[in-house]
A and B are shown apart, each in its own frame.
Chain A
């Protein structure tokens, strides 16, 4: 079963099968020593630029910044949920530690 993944409204949110699933303004803990010097990046999602299905993971390329140190950039693709049997399940993003899957760029 195919799943429609898209970023809409100027990168404001991720749509999965025509339902809004992830929105800008979420705060995520990201384990990415290359992004900034903080032990964990305290990352605010400011805008989504791409989405991909990477294995079962749905991952978003996200512009944002570490609200602890101010470092801005794109910490690679970040997994926000998964597809199982054609259905999307969002991860508990508030309480998990994310690890970028690839493709980090700095500002």
Chain B
């Protein structure tokens, strides 16, 4: 039997949701019929809108999909303007103020505290500037990711034209707008593995093949990667090579296969990774060839995986932070945005700096950072002297550089713990109190509030995932700790070895872990190599939680607050739901 979500999707989904969204925006939050709100909020996701969690009911998060993370000249300023005009919350975040922009691990943008009544104006401002929230969430083609410097940094094959073609073809495409579940695609042209294809539903990765006596550069195709729900998978090669000009046709076939064969009766089993589990790559390729493409698929070419250095466990950052040369002799400057959150005023300043010293273009990385592009050499010194770079450094401390965090209980229904502010506190404490072993410049700590894994914890050196425990009899927020994850030629997901560590003991656990690593390290062994040679018992012994000078003000159940940083954080004090001006409406019956 189809799920309620599938039933709602079969009635109204895709582009047509927009007219209803506008209708409700026009007549106000209260006009959404009480017995239809689940259906509408599920549908609104397709247009990039996610209802915020319990206690914040009439507020929305909006995700803006920027293909490959590219913000064209002028667009960053538009995002900052929209944030300032519409995304100010009723309470302040102690680290980030009341208005901010989140850069995400899938090279998108998230704004919070938006009101339904403002959505049409926001869409108009976005779309008149070439931006869109279409399909940023929901069961369809999500934002396409890759190496954020595609087209400007060295590549084996040009990825950006393919990304644009896929985006143009599959956004708003009725044949592909209602898939069984989300559909995440990565296209990488760089030879270093920096598009993170392995953790996407569909990955195009650089490869070459001799065809008719000629070496052709293109992509090998992999399917079924993903990290969510305690079921992480590396995408599997399906023995298909495609020329860049045919990539969209191959993608259309695979997307259609997913549309027809994905599980619509059980959303927990709907992602294509589960179909790949069931079929295996050989059957997948056979069905694709027989039923979903009308041309002969090429067998796989030679890949470049041996060259993959991005997050491969070595000392090459690969995160594009710092000053780097482009193909055209200009430079790009990657700036570290701690946990991906930037105040709206700073975002406006970023736009100004990018416009003053570069072309105005800004790019978003999969490590939640931003990159200013097209900087002539003669502008570099002045750019590096800008005050903005004091807070968003091109040369950050490794603990700042390596920090990634998801949204957490501040706004998200799924999360179990507070995340972004906590990871900021962790990073600051570690920077002040922990020495990294010699030569360790790259150390990734990813904090995800739940198993949805939006912070991609399984591919970090230290993986943190939200949990609960009791401490002195009191329920407190806690974290599971995983070790040794990463990508590269041979990707490896973190081993979960520390369970339910109270959050105030996690920085001490990391400090002790690094001390043990330094003590037991063999030669210049990397952290990932060190973890890889430990057996199960040894791994568990590496986790030694300890109270330290670190203090955590959010030990309590932040999910039970309407907003964890509000002066009065009890659910009863929530202003939601509100009208279009932010005034509280009468409370609903309970």
Task: List chain A positions with a Cβ less than 8 A from chain B.
Answer: 4, 6, 8-13, 15, 17-20, 23-25, 27, 42, 44, 46-47, 49, 67-68, 70
CB of A70, distance to nearest CB on chain B (Å)? 5
B450 on the A face (CB < 8 A): yes
B42 on the A face (CB < 8 A): yes
The answer to whether B451 and A46 touch across the interface, beta carbons within 8 angstroms, is yes
Please report which residues of chain B, range 438-463, place their CB below 8 angstroms from some CB of chain A when the two chains form the complex. Answer: 450-452
Closest partner residue, chain B, to A63 (CB atom): B230
The answer to whether B35 and A17 touch across the interface, beta carbons within 8 angstroms, is yes
Contacts known (A4-B35, A23-B413, A25-B559); A10 close to B229, Cβ less than 8 A? yes
The answer to whether A18 and B38 touch across the interface, beta carbons within 8 angstroms, is yes
Closest partner residue, chain B, to A4 (CB atom): B35
Subset of 18 A-B contacts with CB under 8 Å: A4-B38, A8-B5, A10-B229, A10-B414, A10-B452, A12-B413, A13-B54, A15-B38, A17-B34, A18-B37, A23-B559, A24-B414, A25-B468, A46-B450, A49-B268, A67-B468, A68-B470, A70-B500
Contacts known (A18-B34, A27-B468); A9 close to B413, Cβ less than 8 A? yes
The 3 closest A-B pairs by CB, nearest first: A25-B416, A12-B413, A12-B414
CB of B536, distance to nearest CB on chain A (Å)? 15
Please report which residues of chain B, range 406-459, place their CB below 8 angstroms from some CB of chain A when the two chains form the complex. Answer: 409, 413-417, 450-452
Contacts known (A13-B413, A44-B468); A18 close to B500, Cβ less than 8 A? no
A11 and B37 alpha carbons, distance in the complex (Å): 17
- Majority DSSP secondary structure for residues of B touching A: mixed
CB of B273, distance to nearest CB on chain A (Å)? 14
Please give the number of chain B residues whose Cβ is less than 8 angstroms from any Cβ of chain A in the complex. Answer: 36
Q: A10-B452, A46-B450 are in contact. List 5 more A-B contacts (CB 8 A).
A: A9-B414, A18-B34, A23-B53, A47-B229, A70-B499
Closest partner residue, chain A, to B558 (CB atom): A25
A67 and B480 alpha carbons, distance in the complex (Å): 11
A13 and B450 alpha carbons, distance in the complex (Å): 13
Contacts known (A13-B413, A24-B416, A25-B416); A8 close to B38, Cβ less than 8 A? yes
Please report which residues of chain B, range 466-512, place their CB below 8 angstroms from some CB of chain A when the two chains form the complex. Answer: 466-470, 475, 478, 499-500
The answer to whether B475 and A27 touch across the interface, beta carbons within 8 angstroms, is yes
B382 on the A face (CB < 8 A): no
A24 and B267 alpha carbons, distance in the complex (Å): 17
**8 Å CB contact of A23 from B54, B470, B588:** B54
